Amino acid sequence: MQQSFVQPEFRVKIDYDKCHKCGRCVQQCGWGVYDFNERPVPHDEKCRACHRCVTFCPAHCITIEKNTLAFRDNDNWSTDARKAVWKQAETGGVLLTSMGNPKPYERIFDKLLLDACQVTNPSIDPLREPMELRTYLGRKPDNVEIVPDGNGGFKLAEGAGVHHNIKLDTPIIFSPMSYGSVSLNVHRSLAMAAERCGILMNTGEGGLHEDLYPYQDNVIVQVASGRFGVSPEYLQRGAAIEIKIGQGAKPGIGGHLPGEKIDREVSATRMIPQGSDAISPAPHHDIYSIEDLRQLIYALKEASGYKPVGVKIAAVHNVAAIASGIVRAGADYVYLDGFRGGTGAAPAVIRDHIGIPIEIAIAVVDQRLREEGIRNQASIIAAGSIRSSADAAKAIALGADVVAIGTAALLALGCHLCQSCHTGKCSWGITTQKPELTRRIDPEWGAERLTNLVHAWSHELQEILGALGVNAVESLRGSRERLRAVGLDEQTCRILGVKPAGL
Amino acid sequence: MPYDLNRYDGFAPANFREESPFKIHGGCGLMGICDESGALMSGEVPILAMAVQRDRGNGLGGGFAGYGIYPAFPDHFCFHMMYHDLRAKEEAEAILDRHFLIEVAEPMPTRPVKGITGAPLLWRYFMTPHTHMLEERDVSAEDYVVGVVMLVNSRVDGAFVASSGKNMGAFKGVGYPEEIGHYFRLEEYEGHTWVGHNRFPTNTPGWWGGAHPFTLLDWSIVHNGEISSYGINSRYLEQFGYTCSLGTDTEVAAYLFDLLLRRHKLPVELACKALAAPLWDEIDRMPADAAALMRSLRAVYGPGMLNGPFAIVLGFNGGMVALNDRIKLRPLVAARSGAVIMVASEESAIRTVLPAPDEVWTPKAGEPVIARVAGMEPPFHSQLHASPAEISCAMTAVEAACHAEEVVA
Amino acid sequence: MKPASIAPPAGVIEGYRYVAPAVECDGATVRMDAQGVYFQQLNDAVREEIASGAKLIRLSNVNGQRYIGTGLRVSGVKIEVEGTAGNDLAMFSDGIEIEVFGNGQDGVGNTMSSGRIVVHGDAGDVLGYGMRGGSVYIRGDVGYRVGIHMKAFEKLVPVLVCGGKARDFFGEYMAGGMLVLLGINARDDSQPIAGGFLGAGMHGGVIYVRGSVEPWQCGAEVAIATVGEEHMAELRPVIEDYAKAMGMDAEDILSQPFTRIAPMSHRPYAKLYASM
């Protein structure tokens, strides 16, 4: 083979004076960076900078550096752009990558600031006074019909009130990540954490492994175009059912889980033969239009005893109209995935150039549903790079009912965002099915870390609510009056429904 | 009666009906009193109650509403009008004349009070709708009146309807409440129900119409505190077609009552539970039926829940409702003395009026104090079918609200 | 109800007049008629008389005047209030004794350092906020947020006894001193003795409740226990003093078991935070 023009991205440096020559790095690295010849010898070109070896080296003698080769300056032809051309010239392939869009598009969350109370209304102490995060996910009626209860009081009229809603203890849930793209231990960790936090995990499109049955009340089961693992039992086990139309990282395209990742367990869960590729078509071939979506929504309701059915879409240009159609088609929630959302594998050109920011999507969908008087008919779940409780609070203030976290959850489990999930060699044991790697995540340990994260963010949300002087999250939800923009243009402010700071 | 237009120089037309794009902040004091037997109390009673609470306001707004005050015209709609100038008066009167048989048109009885300046022209009218016009349009008298209120507010620059109910009226302006009460000669009125308000705005458009109470038909509303959930409350109301253009919590509270009581037909007890919802933990401890009802109320009306400190008194022909926020962040004291029920921000206000009440208590957070005059209707306008946009226009007279929907002449 | 006066009022009805109260001296005892006197003039007169050596000041016809006894740093002097004392009664006070024959409004004993307040009636919200020393005895019911952030400091140990029932947030953030809730002189028998969030955030001091409370009523940071002999030694003298001030029978009050509510930790939030 010809010599590649693409030089290694990183340099692995070992301080051999300190090195114990124990071989731990060789054993830890999933990418095969190290050979061992009396001492570890790194092959830089294989390194993904995932820091697994760095973290577990007992001598702390490994550092990973950027390969700072100088290129002739060219603002137009970035180094990455040149490398991409070389790679494609060498291989003829579509460039594949993972996790969310890393490009320097504007991050709107970072240009929004929250309000706080001073004098005219009091801030509320979140630690000692009630500070309610409980959220009901699902369709709500326009009003509450009541009848006299015969004792001088009132009760709900027959059939009135809120039904088929899911109680969440905090408005943060885990986003869909399929078993297959992530390991079973990751699924177990997510499910256990969801139960402990009173929230939901989401199967993604890879079916529900029987180990997760005990946690089924905290699980959203997903139905995607590949229909992997979808059976009446699957539908009846979930707390809610989600139709996956699209994903923020790769709107409009399907998926492809390579046969080598389809081991016995994945095969059984997805209900497909071992070793064969699991291909998700780009569209659902029973949904070519909105009325078909309605048909599928009601088929799922019929099959599940009228569990809540949500629809997940990627945030694209016409998202408001699409979401309105979804609500009118009978969905109990709309899941909006912004263009920075993560993925286990996607063509870089798709991930990096398609979709719109989640902030904009929340704003236009919430506003559109209000204008049409149907905002109460569905909840809005927002995802696509919720990086902190601050992002969550801002998303909720823009109009989201709930936020979903995927990348943040994986970070909690050790992910270092090396963007190599598609290789199936994740050294942290997250996005791999290799037994020697997947065993690196102990579900109990994983669940504790995820629970810690959700609890910490929930505490922070309570602190934010307290500063805002409200003691229930529904009083922040859609309250854009409590947001101000710094450095956003007038048009974007108008679309967001947020005033610039100072007004 | 000759009017010296120079007298109103301090009153800039631009400020007359000011729309605020911003949230207006402020604190306040309030009172409400109702004799459930229907016996009448002098207008001095609410003045006394507000006067001892003077320090709760800052002189930028005071006002009262009295019910049962016009026994000579119990079935006439009484419009209390504010005019910027004679032209506005002429134009507004032309509209009133077209729509009503005007029994009496007279200047509001007032007297000069030191410190009260910049008053608009204040007139009142006792009127009945032209029967043939009601029939032609096939509308209820209440719809008709709201339509005219909108028409005046939106079409006549410099005219504002301060109140429009039967056998009731609002008396409000820029000043301390005791000064405003004296200015309007309130001691000459007797009512079975009164509400009063003392305003402490930190940012005010400073116009007479902006003082409390807010009214529409028989309803009046006074409010103390700051609703921290204003942003979502106003967006929720906009979803139903209301236009929150004044940026005040009072406006939002008024629309929420209209939505819950009149349009969604909730009994006042449950409407109060929607606005000052019990905590989830409390709901979880309730018996199953009550918990299901409360859970639904809260889940459905969550965006309308008033979060943050407030005390509100809603007056209506036949009683009043006083409500506190759900964790009691604003003061409210209640008392009963025989058939009289009274609420105020401070106990001293109650004892000024009722020196030896049968009982005095602090209402529980979120639990309304309800007073009803025996034999009078419940507090919603059953014959009113106005849309939220029309309600907004009628209550605020702000241009943005009145353009929300084309007003039918 | 008839109008208070048939003749039109001479001027604007005033809640208070900005005039000095009528004062009547009898040796070291001073009487003042507070009827309609604005708080500034009333409190000026009180301060003046104390400076001139008055030991007992009797205020009659008090109704809502704020700040009575506020900021007074004096011992051996007593103020008697007849009527409804206004907001912030005895705020920041240090040593004064006040007895109210009537109700207190909001903010009684706010940030008080020492002294003694006895109210023969109810008291409103935020009673004893940040109280650092002295004692406050209330005969009847009290409102929301009573004894919030009471704290002890060196020899200063505040004591607040409420004879009736309390609303939510009793003893919130409590950092020291003693709060006692008796539930005896209550207006409404159907209400629980305390609302919710009792002792929420409590990290010092002790709360005694006559009878019992449900765990849901209490904050997460407290331990609930039945009072044993060892704690009666601390409670008994307080109850005896309270009973004497109120003309009640101490043994009667002590005839029922008490519940003791105390913090589990002086640092309840040590684990809440992670350093960045």
Mark yes or no for CB contact A128/C269 under 8 Å: no
Residue-level length of chain A? 503
Residue A173: strand pairing partners: A404
Q: Is residue A125 part of a domain?
A: no
Sign of CA dihedral A210, A213, A219, A221: positive
What mean pLDDT comes out for the span B351-377?
Answer: 93
Question: How many whole angstroms separate alpha carbon C184 and alpha carbon C162?
Answer: 9
Q: Is A459 on the interface with C (CB under 8 A)?
A: yes
- Please check the confidence at residue B283 and state whether its pLDDT lies above 70: yes
Q: Is the dihedral of CA A406, A409, A413, A417 positive or negative?
A: positive
| C164 within 8 A of C140, measured Cβ to Cβ | yes
Q: Lowest-confidence range among A218-227, B208-217, C242-251?
A: B208-217
Using a CB-CB distance cutoff of 8 angstroms, which residues of chain A are in contact with residue C196? 130
Give the CATH number, domain containing residue A149.
3.20.20.70
Shortest CA distance to B52 belongs to which of C146, C87, A83? C87
Which of the given ranges, A307-316, B199-208, B373-382, C224-233, has the highest pLDDT on average? A307-316
Which residues are within 8 A (CB) of A50 and not within 5 positions of it... i.e. 6 or more apart?
A: A30, A31, A416, A418, A420, A426, A427, A428
pLDDT tens-place string over residues A376-415 = 999 999 999 999 999 999 999 999 999 999 999 999 999 9
In the prediction, which pLDDT does B151 show? Answer: 86
Cα–chain center distance at A369? 23
Average pLDDT over residues B202-222: 79
Say whether both A324 and A217 belong to one domain: yes
A82 and A140: one domain? no
Do A18 and A141 belong together in one domain?
A: no
**pLDDT above 70: residue B20:** no
Say how far apart CA A498 and CA B218 lie, in whole Å. 36
User: With contacts defined as CB-CB under 8 Å, which chain C residues touch B360?
Assistant: 103, 122
Locus of tokens 């309840």 = C268
Q: Does B36 touch chain A (CB under 8 A)?
A: no
Q: Work out the mean pLDDT of chain B and round it to a whole number.
A: 87
Domain count within chain A: 2
Confidence of residue B403 (pLDDT cuts 50, 70, 90): low
In a domain, A64, yes or no: yes
Q: Give catalytic status of residue B34 as yes or no.
A: no
Burial A463-484 (b: 16+ CB within 10 A, else e): bbbbbbbbbbbbbbbbbbbbbb
CA distance B20 to chain C (A): 32
Q: Supply the DSSP symbol for C4.
A: S
Subunits next to C (3 or more Cβ pairs <8 Å) are A, B
Containing H/E element for A232? helix A232-237
- Look at residue A397 and tell me if it is in a domain: yes
Best probe of the C interface among B362, B364, B367, B373, by most C CBs < 10 A, is B362
Distance CA A483, CA A499 (A): 7
pLDDT at site A285: 85
Domain B19-402 superfamily per CATH: Aminohydrolase, N-terminal nucleophile (Ntn) domain (3.60.20.10)
Examine residue A307 and state whether it is found in any structural domain, yes or no.
yes
Answer for the pair C198, C227: CB distance below 8 angstroms, yes or no. Answer: no
Q: What is the mean pLDDT of residues A56-77?
A: 95
Task: Tell me which chain C residues have a C-beta less than 8 angstroms from the C-beta of B179.
Answer: 12
Question: Is the pLDDT at B3 greater than 60, yes or no?
Answer: no
Q: Which ipTM score applies to this complex?
A: 0.87
CA distances from A117 to A124, B162, C208 (A): 9, 32, 34
Mean pLDDT of C131-138: 96
The reply to whether A145 and A52 lie within a common domain is no
Nearest C-alpha of chain C: how many angstroms from B365? 9
Mean per-residue pLDDT, A285-310 = 92
Closest C-alpha to B270, from B260, B280, B255, B256? B260
Give the residue from A73, A93, A113 where a domain finishes.
Answer: A93
Which residue of B56, B200, B235 is the best one to mutate when testing the A interface, meaning the one whose CB has the most A CBs within 10 A?
A: B235
Q: In this model, does residue B396 exceed pLDDT 80?
A: no
Q: C66 to chain B: which residues are within 8 Å by CB?
A: 55
Quote the minimal CA–CA distance from A459 to chain C in Å: 9
pLDDT band for A367, please (50, 70, 90 cuts).
Answer: very high
Contact A130 C201 (CB under 8 A): no
CA distance B354 to A343: 71
Taking the C-alpha atoms of residue A283 and residue A293, their distance in angstroms, rounded to an integer, is: 11
Q: How far is C106 from chain B (nearest CA, A)?
A: 8
Q: Are residues A151 and A62 in the same domain?
A: no
Q: Reduce the DSSP state of residue A206 to 3 states and report it.
A: helix
Residue B135 contacts C where some CB pair is shorter than 8 Å: no
In this model, does residue C3 exceed pLDDT 50?
no
Name the catalytic one among B28, B34, B78, B393.
B28
Determine whether the interchain pair C86/B346 forms a contact, defined as Cβ–Cβ distance below 8 Å.
Answer: yes
Contact (CB<8Å) B348/C4: no
| Residue A108 located in a structural domain | no
Rounded-to-integer distance, Cα B309 and Cα B322, Å: 14
Q: Which residue of B34, B35, B52 to mutate against C (max C Cβ within 10 Å)? A: B52
Residue C82's DSSP bridge partners are: C101
Give alpha helix (H) positions in chain C: 39-51, 229-246, 250-254
pLDDT value at residue C153: 87
Mean pLDDT for A138-147 is 95
Closest by CA to C178, choosing from C126, C125, C131, is C131
Report phi then psi at B242, rounded to 5.
-75, 150
Average pLDDT, stretch C26-41?
94
Over residues B61-86, the mean pLDDT reads: 95
Chain C residue with CA closest to A455: the answer is C272
Q: Within 13 A of A294's CA, how many CA atoms are on the CB side? A: 10
A288 CB neighbour count, 10 Å cutoff:
10
Distance from the Cα of B278 to chain A's closest Cα (Å) equals 11
Say yes or no: B131 contacts chain C, CB-CB below 8 A.
no
- Please give the average per-residue pLDDT across A336-363, as a whole number: 96
pLDDT at A254 over 90: no
Q: Is the pLDDT of residue A220 over 90?
A: yes
Please indicate, yes or no, whether residues A220 and A351 belong to a single structural domain of this protein: yes
Q: A168: domain range?
A: 135-500
Domains identified in chain C and CATH numbers: 1-103 (no CATH), 122-276 (2.160.20.60)
Cβ contact C272–A127 (<8 Å)? yes
Contact list, B280 vs chain C (CB under 8 Å) = none
Which tokens hold the place of C108?
């009684």
Q: Does C172 touch chain B (CB under 8 A)?
A: no
CB B43 within 8 A of CB B186: yes
Burial (Cβ within 10 Å: 0-12, 13-18, ≥19) of residue A391: buried
3 state DSSP class of A136: strand
pLDDT confidence bin for B130, thresholds 50/70/90: very high
Distance from CA of A113 to the nearest CA of C (A): 21
The CATH number of whichever domain residue A65 belongs to comes to: 3.30.70.20
The per-residue pLDDT for A332 is 98
B401 touches chain C (CB under 8 A): no
B33 near C CB under 8 A: no
**Is residue B61 within 8 Å of residue B225, measured between CB atoms?**
no
Q: Backbone phi, then psi, for C216, in 5-degree steps? A: -65, -20
Q: What secondary structure does DSSP assign to B117-165, as a single string?
A: ----EEEEEEEEE-HHHHHHHT--HHHHHHHHHHHHHHHSTTEEEEE--
Quick check: C270 pLDDT over 70? yes
Q: What was the pLDDT predicted at B150?
A: 82
Reported as a single tens digit per residue, the pLDDT across C40-74 is 999 999 999 999 999 999 999 999 999 999 999 99
Q: Residue C194: closest CA among chain B residues belongs to which residue?
A: B364
Contact B239 A371 (CB under 8 A): yes
Q: What's the pLDDT band for A214 if we cut at 50, 70, 90?
A: very high
Q: Of the candidates B114, B333, B365, which has its C-beta nearest C144's C-beta?
A: B365
What is the rounded CA–CA span in Å between residue B255 and residue B261? 10
CB–CB of C64 and B333 under 8 A?
Answer: no
What value does the mean pLDDT of chain C take?
92
pTM: 0.89
Q: Is 50 exceeded by the pLDDT of residue A126?
A: yes
Characterize A356-382 residue by residue with b for buried, 16 or more Cβ atoms within 10 angstroms of its Cβ, and e for exposed: bbbbbbbbbbbbbbbeeebbbbbbbbb
DSSP A44: G
Helix (H, G, I), strand (E, B) or coil at C87: coil
Longest dimension (CA), chain B: 68
Using the structure block, give the residue that is written with the tokens 């507010």. B153
pLDDT at B13 over 60: no
Percent of chain A residues past pLDDT 90, beyond the cut = 87
Paired residues of A17 in beta bridges: none
CA A86, CA A77: separation in Å to the nearest integer?
Answer: 13
User: For the range B130-139, what are the long-range contacts, defined as Cβ-Cβ under 8 Å and sequence gap of 24 or more?
Assistant: B130/B99, B130/B100, B130/B101, B133/B99, B139/B385
C169 with A128: Cβ contact below 8 A: yes
| Residue C107 identity (one-letter amino acid) | G
* A142 and A21 in a common domain: no
Q: Do C15 and B54 touch (CB under 8 A)?
A: yes
